């Protein structure tokens, strides 16, 4: 059964306290472990928020900020929350610069104009990636909330730390986002999901 | 009962408590509307998992290459901060950082700031300690430790003097300017006034490849290839590559990356310690002569010539031994040790010695502390041992831990599938159904999809409700051509 080659996480450091101790002592291995541990998470978040444009720059910027500021991390939240907060800020800042902050609820035909590949999106939509397409149409903050909760497993309180909001606000947004997604899911009739409590 | 969107998502996401999940599922089975929405939520959750895609190797390499210089700088900053913290205390560090220039800043402002701070510190130390204890710049011909030994018997002022002298002479000897220190790690600007105060000895030094450093007459070392630490210890680095983590008169620590070092330690001040770390062992001494050998990747050898050293094997709960003069002790690396434990565990299981196997598994988990390369596998083995000895509740808890952990996908899949089988054997059919449902949501293309779908059909055998029909449809669509699946479908046709 054992197959060490397919382990996904760095096995030398997974304990957050040990990782932080190494970072505070300036251990290069600790920085490497931090990078290896959080690269998949940061990359996924950046892809979801930025799609494929500027993802690599955003990842790099995130880790630069993490490395530069890790000595100031006081442990008030989990390390993963802190890293996600930095990544989220980097991506949202990038979106603001691009002017893509507002949600777009255009139909697919309307999206051809902003450089998106209609054929590719249609193919995506017809395959098993409807969610990706629906997420792209959401407000970035809603998208972040949904992703951090359902993919990264962060609690509402932790997402509140990431976004600088109250837990209740996050819960409400999460609820609205789910209803919104459900309402637009292909096999669910719009009127069924729209008025749910 | 209504079925709020949040509950459907919690159910689909596997975040709902089992008892509540059973209630909601019971409702969903009789509500076509909820079934449709639950199916959508489940599909959404399945696709949400696919959003976590691996980073391709090329991008990974590019990113790390771009980040490497920052890692070097950040590491140097952290080490500098740690050294200052050690020397001055936490609050002083916070104050210092307000004005101390950051790495990467260049130009006259850096030099002025550094000069100002070093001058101020020198003045403070001079005022506190008095002019009579500040040593001359020249390196003493005699090694500093002799002063430490005398200072122990003399007045405390002598002890202070010893500390200062220690701090002055060794650093330049161990780290001559030809050393290949990474950019930004030089503790102080050349010629800074602080060099005369002894403070540099507290700064962190991270110099790999001491073997490339040619010791000179100015170094204070007795022969080429040797180095003198602030505590007075003489380290023979002829065949070694090491990192000096601390170099204080009372606290010296080095990390031996590769090769063999021979250390001769004088009597250290009260509370003083010298530590040599390798990946496998921590060797702590009080005053002796010994050698630490890390030329083999699977173990470290400690040989003691005089006195006694304490050797702690790396890993929680591993042995601590005293090695006396004339003795040699080999410490296996953590990986080698864990590998051996797994072999012993499997042997014990094969021989039916479950008590021994249980002890080995527990020991592995204790030593690995959650970090071992096969922790998930060992937890699964331990679950098997527990279930075979009738401790099914404990086994279920362990399987759930693995299933919900961050381990590899195959381990999480196995844990969930075994958990479902455990429920089946205990005739907890609702729990089994819920577990298979969870499996299919989390691993729609997993190793045990056929088993999961077949059991779903069997668990609703003969039923005509929508969920039973859906189970039959799913099994038929994916595995209908296979004889075992066809037999299940035939046996469980709606009545």
DSSP B176-227: -TTS-PPTT--SS-TT-GGGGTTGGGGS------GGG----GGGT-SSTTEE
Say if residues B330 and B300 touch (Cβ distance below 8 Å).
Answer: yes
Cβ distance B53 to A43 less than 8 Å, yes or no, reads yes
pLDDT at B271: 60
Contact B6 A178 (CB under 8 A): yes
Amino acid B325: pLDDT: 80
Interface of B with A in 93-112 (CB under 8 A): none
A44 to chain B: which residues are within 8 Å by CB?
51-53
Assigned architecture for domain B335-447: Alpha Horseshoe (1.25)
- Quote the pLDDT of residue B188: 26
Q: For residues B127 and B82, give the distance between their C-alpha atoms in angstroms, rounded to a whole number.
A: 25
Instruction: Give residue B128's pLDDT.
Output: 60
Whether A8 contacts chain B with CB within 8 A: yes
State whether CATH 3.30.2350.10 applies to domain B132-175+196-332.
no
Instruction: Spell out the domains of chain A, with CATH numbers in brackets.
Output: 10-101 (1.10.1740.10)
Which residues on chain A are in Cβ contact (under 8 Å) with B41? 178, 182
Residue B138 burial class via C-beta count within 10 angstroms: exposed 0-12, middle 13-18, buried 19 and up: exposed
ipTM of this predicted structure: 0.70
CB neighbour list of residue A110: distance below 8 Å, 6 or more residues apart: none
The verdict on A176 touching B (C-beta cutoff 8 Å) is no
Q: Is the pTM of this model over 0.80?
A: no
pLDDT at A107: 34
Contact between chains at A1 and B410 (C-beta distance less than 8 A)? yes
- Hey, is B19 helix, strand or coil? helix
Residue-wise DSSP of B125-186 = HHHHH-GGGPPPSSPPSS-THHHHHHHHHS-HHHHHHHHHHHHHSHHHHHS-TTS-PPTT--
Average predicted confidence (pLDDT) for chain A: 72
Q: How many CB pairs under 8 A join A and B?
A: 160
pLDDT average, residue stretch A82-107 = 72
- Check whether A77 has a pLDDT greater than 70: yes
Which pLDDT belongs to residue B173?
A: 26
Say which residues have a Cβ less than 8 Å from residue B299's Cβ, sequence separation at least 6: B280, B330, B331, B332, B333, B336
Q: Which residues of A touch B52 (CB under 8 A)?
A: 40-41, 44, 151
State whether B370 and A14 contact (CB < 8 Å). Answer: yes
Which chain A residues touch B384 with a CB distance below 8 Å? none
Nearest C-alpha in B relative to A37: B406
Interchain contact, A185 vs B70, CB within 8 Å:
no
Residues of B in contact with A15 (CB under 8 A): 369-371
B245 contacts in A (CB within 8 Å)? 25
Find, among A133, A155, B251, the residue nearest to A163 by Cα. A155
| Domains of chain B by residue range | 5-50, 56-129, 132-175+196-332, 335-447
Question: B37 CB near a chain A CB, below 8 Å?
Answer: yes
| B462: DSSP letter | T
- Distance separating the N- and C-terminal Cα atoms of chain B: 29
**CA nearest to B431, candidates B421, B441, B440:** B421
B82 and A24 within 8 Å at the Cβ level: the answer is: yes
User: Which two structure tokens, joined as six digits, stand for B256?
Assistant: 């031996």
Report CB contact under 8 Å: A128, B50.
yes
Q: Per-residue pLDDT for A101 more than 70?
A: no
Question: Is the CB of A155 inside 8 Å of chain B's CB atoms?
Answer: no
**Quick one: pLDDT band at residue A15, thresholds 50, 70, 90?**
low
Residues 75-134 of A with CB under 8 A from B: 128-132
| Most A-contacting residue of B75, B104, B334, B365 (CB-CB within 10 A), to test interface | B75
Q: Mean pLDDT, 10 residues at a time, over chain B (495 residues)?
A: 74 75 82 83 79 79 86 80 61 50 55 74 68 35 28 32 25 28 30 24 32 29 63 78 78 83 72 80 76 84 82 80 84 85 84 85 82 78 86 88 84 88 88 91 86 89 82 87 86 81
- Is residue A21 within 8 angstroms of chain B, CB to CB? no
A142 has a pLDDT exceeding 70: yes
Rounded to a whole number, what is the distance in Å from the CA of B144 to chain A's nearest CA?
28
């Amino acid at each position: 059964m054992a197959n060490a080659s397919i382990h996904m996480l760095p096995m030398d450091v997974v304990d957050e306290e040990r990782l932080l101790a190494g970072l505070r002592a300036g251990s290069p291995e600790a920085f490497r472990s931090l990078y290896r541990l959080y690269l998949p998470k940061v990359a996924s978040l950046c892809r979801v928020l930025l799609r494929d444009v500027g993802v690599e720059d955003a990842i790099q910027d995130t880790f630069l900020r993490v490395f530069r500021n890790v000595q100031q991390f006081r442990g008030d939240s989990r390390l993963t929350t802190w890293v996600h907060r930095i990544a989220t800020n980097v991506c949202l800042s990038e979106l603001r610069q691009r002017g893509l902050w507002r949600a777009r609820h255009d139909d697919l035909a309307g999206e051809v104009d902003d450089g998106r590949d209609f054929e590719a999106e249609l193919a995506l939509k017809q395959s098993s990636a409807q969610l990706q397409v629906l997420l792209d149409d959401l407000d970035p903050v809603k998208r972040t909330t949904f992703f951090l909760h359902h993919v990264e497993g962060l609690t509402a309180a932790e997402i509140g730390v990431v976004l600088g909001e109250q837990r209740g606000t996050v819960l409400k947004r999460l609820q609205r986002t789910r209803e919104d997604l459900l309402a637009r899911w292909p096999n669910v009739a719009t009127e069924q999901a729209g008025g749910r409590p | 009962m209504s079925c709020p969107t949040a509950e459907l998502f919690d159910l689909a996401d596997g975040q709902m408590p089992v008892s509540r999940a059973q209630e909601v599922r019971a409702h969903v089975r009789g509500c076509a509307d909820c079934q449709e929405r639950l199916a959508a939520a489940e599909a959404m959750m399945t696709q949400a998992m696919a959003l976590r895609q691996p980073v391709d190797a090329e991008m990974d390499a590019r990113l790390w290459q771009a980040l490497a210089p920052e890692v070097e700088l950040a590491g140097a900053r952290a080490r500098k901060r740690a050294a200052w913290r050690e020397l001055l205390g936490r609050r002083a560090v916070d104050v210092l950082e307000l004005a101390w220039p950051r790495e990467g800043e260049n130009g006259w402002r850096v030099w002025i700031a550094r000069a100002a701070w070093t001058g101020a510190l020198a003045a403070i130390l001079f005022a506190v300690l008095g002019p009579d204890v500040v040593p001359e710049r020249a390196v003493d011909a005699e090694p500093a430790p002799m002063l430490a030994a005398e200072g122990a018997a003399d007045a405390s002022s002598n002890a202070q003097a010893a500390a200062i002298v220690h701090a002055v002479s060794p650093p330049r000897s161990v780290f001559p300017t030809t050393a290949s220190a990474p950019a930004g790690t030089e503790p102080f600007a050349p010629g800074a006034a602080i060099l005369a105060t002894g403070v540099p000895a507290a700064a962190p030094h991270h110099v790999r490849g001491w073997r490339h450093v040619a010791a000179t007459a100015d170094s204070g070392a007795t022969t080429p290839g040797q180095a003198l630490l602030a505590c007075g210890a003489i380290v023979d680095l002829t065949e070694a590559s090491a990192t000096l983590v601390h170099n204080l008169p009372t606290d010296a620590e080095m990390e031996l990356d590769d090769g063999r070092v021979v250390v001769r330690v004088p009597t250290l001040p009260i509370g003083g310690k010298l530590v040599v770390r390798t990946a496998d062992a921590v060797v702590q001494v009080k005053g002796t002569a010994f050698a630490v050998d890390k030329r083999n990747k699977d173990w470290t050898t400690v040989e003691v010539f005089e006195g006694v050293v304490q050797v702690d094997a790396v890993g929680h709960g591993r042995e601590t031994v005293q090695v006396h003069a004339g003795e040699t002790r080999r410490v296996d690396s953590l990986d080698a040790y864990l590998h051996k434990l797994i072999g012993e565990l499997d042997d014990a299981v094969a021989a039916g010695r479950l008590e021994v196997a249980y002890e080995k598994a527990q020991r592995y988990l204790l030593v690995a502390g959650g970090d071992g390369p096969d922790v998930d596998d060992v937890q699964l083995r331990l679950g098997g041992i527990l279930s075979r000895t009738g401790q099914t509740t404990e086994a279920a808890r362990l399987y759930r831990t693995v299933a919900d952990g961050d381990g590899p996908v195959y381990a999480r899949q196995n844990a969930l599938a075994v958990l479902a089988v455990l429920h089946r054997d205990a005739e907890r059919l609702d729990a089994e159904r819920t577990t298979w449902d969870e499996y299919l949501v989390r691993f729609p293309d997993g190793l045990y999809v056929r088993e999961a779908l077949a059991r779903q059909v069997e668990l609703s055998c003969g039923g005509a409700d929508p969920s039973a029909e859906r189970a039959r449809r799913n099994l038929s669509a994916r595995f209908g051509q296979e004889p075992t699946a066809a037999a299940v479908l035939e046996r469980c046709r709606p009545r």
